[in-house]
Amino acid sequence: MESASITTRTVVDALPLPRAGTHSRVVWRRRVAKVSRWLHIYGSMFSLSIVLFFAVTGITLNHQDWFAGREVTSTRQGSLDASWLHRPDGDVDRLLVVERLRASEGIVGAVADFRTDDETAEVAFKGPGYSADIMIDRATGRFEITEIRMGIAAIVNDLHKGRDTGPVWKTVIDIAAGLLVVIALTGLVLLYFAHKYRVAGALLIAAGTGISYVFYTAFVP
- How would you write the pLDDT of the chain (221 residues) with one tens digit per residue? 444 433 334 333 443 444 555 667 778 888 888 898 999 999 999 999 999 999 999 999 998 888 776 789 999 999 999 999 998 888 899 999 999 999 999 999 999 999 999 999 999 999 999 999 999 999 999 999 999 999 899 999 999 999 999 999 999 999 999 999 999 999 999 998 888 888 999 999 999 999 999 999 999 98
In-domain check, residue 169:
yes
Domain extent, residue 45, equals 23-63+157-219
Return all residues near 168 (Cβ < 8 A) that are at least 6 apart. Answer: none
Does residue 110 fall inside a structural domain?
Answer: yes
CB atoms within 10 A of CB 20: 10
Is residue 177 in a domain?
yes
Q: What is the pLDDT at residue 98?
A: 96
What pLDDT score does 115 carry?
Answer: 95
Q: 1 in a domain, yes or no?
A: no
β-bridge pairing 130-137 and 142-149:
antiparallel
Whether residues 54 and 162 fall in one domain: yes
CA distances from 153 to 41, 128, 161 (A): 31, 10, 12
Is 167 within the bounds of a domain?
Answer: yes
Of the residues 149, 177, 202, the one at which a domain ends: 149
What does residue 137 show for φ and ψ, rounded to 5 degrees? -85, 115
> Position 10: which residue type?
T
Rounded to a whole number of angstroms, the CA Rg of the chain reads 31
Query: What is the tally of structural domains in the chain?
Result: 2
| Together in a domain, 76 and 132 | yes
**Residue type at 113 in one-letter notation:** D
> According to the model, what pLDDT value does residue 195 have?
85
pLDDT at 21: 57
Q: Under DSSP, is residue 158 helix (H, G, I), strand (E, B) or coil?
A: helix
Same domain for 84 and 44, yes or no, is no
Instruction: Identify the burial level of 85 via C-beta atoms within 10 angstroms of its C-beta, where 0-12 means exposed, 13-18 middle and 19 or more buried.
Output: buried
